[in-house]
Structure 1
Amino acid sequence: MASRVLGMVRDAVFAILFGAGGAMDAFFVAFKIPNFLRRLFAEGAFNQAFVPVLSQVRQEEGEAGVRRLIAATQVALGAVVGVLTVVAMLASPLVAWVFAPGFHDDGVKLSQTADFLRLTFPYLWFISLTALGQSVLNTFGRFAAPALTPVILNLCLIGSAFWLTPRFDVPMTGLALGVLLAGLLQWLWLWPSLLKLGVWQPWRLGERHEGVKRIGVLMVPALFGVSVSQINLLLDTVLASLLQDGSVGWLYYSDRLSELPLGVIGIAIGTVLLPRLSEQARHADPKDFQRTLGWALRLVLLVGIPAMAALIVLAQPLLSTLFQYRAFTETDVLFSSRSLMAYALGLPAFMLIKILAPGFFSRQDTKTPVKIGIWAMVLNMAFNLILIWPLAHVGLALATSLSAWFNAGLLAWTLRRRGDFPARSLWLASALKSLLAASLMALALLWLMAWPALAFPDDVLGRVWRLAVLVLAGLAVFTVIALAAGIRPGQLKSP
C-alpha cells in the first residue's frame, strides 16, 4: 500500500511538472522497457521458477544446500542479466527504434529515448539481484523488507523530479538517473535482512548447484506465462507511439491508476500464495491446495470487482484530482480517463492471473501457462489491430483487457480439468455478492455525481473534498450491501 500510494504521488508529480507528450513520452518508453523486464524477474518468471526449487532444496538438503543454491544462482543470474544490460546499453538506438517505431519521424524524440535507455537499463541488473533477495526472504516467511523495496524507487523518482531535473537541458535526464539510483539502493536495502537470515553469503562466488539448471528450465517458459499482461502493455506502448502525440502518456497514467488495486491485492496475494502452494503441492493434499486457492479467489474478487466499478465511474474525478494541474490539461484528463475505463474492465482478470498462475508454478509446471499466454498474446494483437483504428489508444487498452479475461479463463479451466481448481462453494457465492454490491455502488456514485453540490471545482481542496466524498460514499454503500448479502470478514481469513 505504501508503495502504490507513493507511486500515485510520483505520477502526480510527473503530470504536474512535465505533463504528457514530447520528451516525457521518450522517458516513459525508456523507463517502461527495463521496468517491464523488472516485472518478469521481480514479480514474474524468476520468482515463480526459483521459489519452488528453493523450497524443495530447503526440505531435502537443509540450509547448507540452500546456501549453495543461492550462491550459484546469484552468479548465474548476475552474469546473464549483466550481458543483457551491456548489450542493451550499447544498442540503445536500435532498442529505441524497435520499441518506439512511431518516433522514427521525430529524430529528437528517438535520440532522447536512446539516451534515456543508457541510463535506465543498468536498473535491470540491480533489480534482478534484488529479486533474488526478495524470493529468498519470501520463502523464509520474511515479507516486509521485500515489499518495501518499490517504495525506494518511488522516493528516488520523486526526489529526482524536484532536484535533478533542473540541472539538465533535457529535464527527463534527471528522471533517468533517478531510476538508476533507485536500482542500486533497492539492492542494498535487502542486504541487512539477507545477512541476518544466514543463508546468503555474497562473497561465495564459486559455488555450483544442479538446482540452477532446473531454475533456468522453469524460468524460460515462465517469462511468458506469468507476464503476458505486461507484454501486452508493452505492445500497447509500441503501437501508441504510432498515434498522436501524448498517447503514450495517456496510456501510462491510466495504466498506473488501474495498477493500484492490482499491486495492493493481486501481486501481494500472489507473492504470499506461491510458497504456501509449493509446500502443499509437495504434501500431495489436494483439499488443502484447493482451499488455499479458493481463499485467494474470494479475496481478489471481493476487491477486484468493486475496484473495477469504481475506476470506471470515477475515472475523470480521479485523474483530474491527482493530475490536472499546470502541464496536465483537461484534454489529457479526458483522453486518459477513456483508456482508464478500458483498462478497468480487465482489472479482475489481471488479478486472477496473478493468483491462478502460481497454481501451476507451485507444481513446477511452467509450460502450460506459457501456452495459454501465447494464445492470449496473439489474441491481444488481433484485438489491437481491430480496435486501434476506431478507438485509437482506448482500443489498445480495451484489447489488453479482453485478452486478460481470455488468459484468466483458460488458466481456470485448465486447473479445473486437472482437479486443482477450487469447488464453487469456496468462491462463487462470494463473487456474486460482490458483483451485486459493486453494481449498486456504481449506481449510487453516478447519482451522487449528478448533484450540483458535487460539481467539479477549480481549486485543489475542492477537488480533494469532492473525490473524498465520492470514495467514502462508494465504500460505505459497498460495505453495507456486502454485509447485508452475507459477506463476513471471517470468510476472508487465510485457511
Structure 2
Amino acid sequence: MSLLKNVGTIGGLTMVSRLFGFVRDMLLARVLGAGGVADAWQLAFQLPNIFRRLFAEGAFASAFVPLFNRHMKDGDDQTEARRFASEILAILLPILVFFGAIMMIAMPWILYAFASEDLQADQQNYELAVMMGRIAFPYLLFMSLATLTAAVLNSLSRFAAAAAAPILLNICLISALTWGAMQADSEVTRQSTGLLLAIAVTTSGLLQLLWLTYWMRRSGFRIPFKRPRITPDVKQLGVLIVPAVFGAGVYQISRFIDLFFLSSLPEGSITFLAMADRWNQLPLGIIGIALGTAILPALSRFIASEDADGAFRLQSNAVELAMLLTIPSAVALFVTGSAFTQVFFVGGAFTVEDALITGTVVSGLVIGLPAYVLVKVLTPNFFARKDTRTPVYTAAVSLIVTISLNLFLIFSLGLGVLSLAIAGSIGAWCNVALLYAILARKGYFKLTGSVVSRMFRIMIAALMMGAVLYYLMPCADPYFTGSALERAASILSIVLAGALTFAIAAFALRVLDRETIGRLMRRQA
C-alpha cells in the first residue's frame, strides 16, 4: 500500500476519534468547567495517559516494531514472530501489574507533587483526584497490552483496527459526561461525574484490548502465553526501549515537566492547557502519529534489505507530506485558535474568559506543531536502524531548552500557562534541527532542492491564508458565542475562507502537481 493510502487509513480513523474527542471536551467544559473538580480530573487522567503515550505508544512501539519485522522477514512463516511476541508479552505483563500496583498505592504522594496549591488546599477535591487516579490507572495496563497487539497488526500492514481503537475511549467518556449533563448542576454532580469518568477510562482500556485482540486473531496471528524468561530478544528490546523512552517520547516528557510547572500557576491552568492541547493533538494525531506509524514498518524492511534508495524515497515523501498538511494547520490555528475555543467550549461552567485564555494557549502550542510532527517522521529512521540512543541526546537537549525557557517565561516574564506552550514549541524545533543534522551527517537522509522549494511555497501559501483569516476574525467575532446557528455559520465561514485561500494559493504556486501526487501514491514496499 502507498504512503498516502496508509496515512489516509490511519489519519481518517484518527480524525473520527478526534471528532469524538471534541464532543467529549465540549461536554467536559460544560459539566466540569475549569478549576476545582475539572483540575482534579485532568490531573488524575494525565498520569496514566502520559505513561501510556510515553512508554507504550512511544518507546515500546518504536523498539518492538523493527525487531518484530526482522522476525517476519521470511515471508508467511510466522513461527519466529509468534515466539518473539510471546516472550515479550510474558515479561511485559508482570512488569505492568507490579508498576500499576506501586503507582496506585503511592497515588496520594504522586498527585501531591503535581497538584497546584489551590488543589492541595482543597482537601475534598484532592481526595477525589486520588480516588479517580487509582480507578483510572489500570488503563495503563490494558493499553500497554493493546499497544503490543496494535504493533503486531501494524507490522502486518493492518492499520485500521488500531487507528479505530481510541474511538472506544471517547465513547465511554462521552457516556459518563452525558449522564452528568442530564443531572442538576451542582458540586455533587461534578464529583460523581468525575468518578464515572475514571471508571469509563479503565473500561475503555479493556474494550480496546479486546477489540485489537479480536482483529489480530482475525488476521491469523496469535500470541501464546509463556513463562517469563530473560531471552536474548528480551534483552535486546530492553536495551532499545530505555533510550527510546526519551527519543520517541519527548513530547510526553515535556507534558510531565509541564505538570510540575502547572503546580505553581493559578487554578484552572491545567484545564486550559489540556483543552488547548486538544486542538494541537488533532493535526498531530491525524498527521504525525499516522505518518510515524505508517513508515516505521516499511523503513525497517527497506533497511533490513539494504535498499538505501527505497528508505531515502520513503523518508523524503513522509517529510514532504507532513509539511504539506501541518504548516497550513499551524498557521490557521495560530490565527483562529480563540474562535474555535469560543465556538466549541463556551457554555455551562466554561466562560468566555476561559475560552480566550485557552485560545491563546492554542496559538502558543501550534508554533511547534510542524516540529512535533517532524519528530514523529524523523525518529523512525533511527529506530528502524535499531539506533535508539541518538534520539536520546537530541531529546535531552530539547528538554533542557524547554525547561530553561519555562523558568524564564514563567518566573521572569510572568506569561503563565502560555509559557508552557511556547517553551515546548521552541524545544521541539531544537529537537528537529538536531535530528535532521545527524541524519544528514550520517548520510541517512538529506532534503533535496525540490523538496525545500516546495516547502517554501507551502509556507507562502499558508501565510497568504493566515492574512485572510486575520482580517476575517474581527468580522466573525460577535457570532462566536451566539446561538448554535450563529456559531456554526461563523466557524464554517472561517474554515471555508481558509481552505479556499490556501487551495488557490497552492495551485498558483504549484505546491501540488500530478507528479507529486503520483509519487506519494506509489507503493512503498
Task: State the distance in 2 between where 1:422 and 1:337 align.
Answer: 36
Cα deviation, residue 445, structure 1: 1.1
Distance in 2, Cα, partners of 1:345 & 1:271: 23
Aligned counterpart for 1:334 among listed residues 316, 339, 356 = 356
**Residue 279 (structure 2) pairs with residue 257 (structure 1):** yes
Q: Report how far residue 49 of structure 1 moved.
A: 0.3
Partner-residue secondary structure (3-state), 1:366: coil
**Distance 1:185-1:428 versus aligned 2 partners, 3 A rule:** same
1:135 is matched with: 151
Corresponding letter in the other structure for 1:274:
L
- Matches of 1:105 and 1:420, distance apart in 2: 53
Q: Does 1:386 align with 2:408?
A: yes
428, 431, 434: which one aligns with 1:407? 431
In the TM superposition, 1:349-428 aligns within 5 A as 349-389=371-411, 390-425=414-449, 427-428=451-452
Matched residue SS, 2:276: helix
| Partner in structure 1 of residue 340 of structure 2 | 318
Greater mean alpha carbon deviation, residues 456-465 or residues 115-124: 456-465
Distance 1:326 1:110 in 2: 23
| Cα 1:202–1:8 shift into 2, 3 Å | farther
Report the counterpart of residue 223 of structure 1 in structure 2.
Answer: 245
Paired residue for 1:26, among 37, 40, 43? Answer: 40
Task: Name the counterpart of 1:55.
Answer: 69
Q: 2:294 & 2:121 partners in 1: Cα distance?
A: 46
CA distance in 1, matches of 2:69, 2:476: 59
Structure-1 separation of matches of 2:473 and 2:234:
56
Q: Deviations over 1:66-94 (max 9, x none)?
A: 11111111111111111111110111111
Residue aligning to 2:492: 468
Q: What displacement does 1:401 show? A: 0.6
- Give 1:250 shift: 0.5
Larger deviation: 405-414 or 233-242?
233-242
Q: Retained in 1: the 8 A contact 2:69–2:155?
A: yes
Q: CA deviation at 1:425?
A: 2.8
- CA-CA distance at 1:105 after TM superposition: 3.2
The 1-side partners of 2:445 and 2:342 are apart by 41
Gaps (5+ residues) in structure 2? 1-14
Match of 1:268 among 256, 270, 290: 290
Structure 1 residue 234 displacement after superposition? 2.3
Could you tell me how far apart the structure 1 residues matched to 2:121 and 2:278 are?
A: 28
Between the aligned partners of 1:39 and 1:11, the Cα distance in structure 2 is: 19
The CA deviation string for residues 423-463 of structure 1, in whole angstroms up to 9 with x for no partner, is 32352122111100100001111222233797545112101
Q: Which residue of 2 aligns with 1:82?
A: 97
The one-letter amino acid of 2:272's match is: W
Q: Does the aligned pair in 1 maintain the 2:339–2:477 contact within 8 Å?
A: no
What is the TM-score of this pair, normalised by structure 2? 0.91
Between the aligned partners of 2:115 and 2:481, the Cα distance in structure 1 is 38
- Please say which of residues 40-49 and 7-16 is displaced more in the overlay: 40-49
Q: Following the alignment from structure 2 to structure 1, what is the Cα–Cα distance between the partners of residues 477 and 37?
A: 39
**Preserved CA contact (<8 Å) 1:82 1:125:** yes
1:187-336 pair list within 5 angstroms: 187-204=209-226, 209-336=231-358
Moved more, 420-429 or 78-87: 420-429
- CA shift in 2, pair 1:457/1:110, >3 Å: closer
**TM-fit CA distance, 1:474:** 0.3
**Distance (Å, rounded) in 2 between the aligned partners of 1:178 and 1:455:** 35
- Are residue 14 (structure 1) and residue 38 (structure 2) matched? no
> Under a length normalisation based on structure 1, what TM-score does the superposition of the two structures give?
0.96
Specify whether residues 291 and 387 from structure 1 end up closer, same or farther in structure 2 by C-alpha distance, changes over 3 A only. Answer: same
2: CA distance, partners of 1:299 / 1:421: 16
The answer to whether structure 1 residue 109 and structure 2 residue 131 are counterparts is: no
Q: Specify which of 413, 419, 435 is matched with residue 459 of structure 2.
A: 435
420-429 vs 139-148, which moves further: 420-429
Which residue does 2:471 correspond to in 1? 447
Shift of 1:203: 4.4
Compute the RMSD of aligned alpha carbons.
Answer: 1.9
- Give the stretch that moved more between structures: 16-25 or 168-177: 168-177
Q: CA deviation at 1:300?
A: 0.8
**Identity, % of aligned positions:** 36
The CA distance in 2 between the partners of 1:452 and 1:351, in whole Å, is: 30
Separation in structure 2 between the aligned mates of residue 357 and residue 452 of structure 1, nearest angstrom:
41
CA deviations on 1:7-43 (whole Å, 9 max, x unpaired) are: 1111111011111110110110111111011112443
Which position in structure 1 is the counterpart of 2:82?
A: 67
Q: CA deviation at 1:285?
A: 2.5
- The farther-off stretch of 294-303 and 39-48 is 39-48
Q: How much does 1:148 deviate? A: 0.5
Residue in structure 1 matching 2:134, options 82, 94, 118: 118
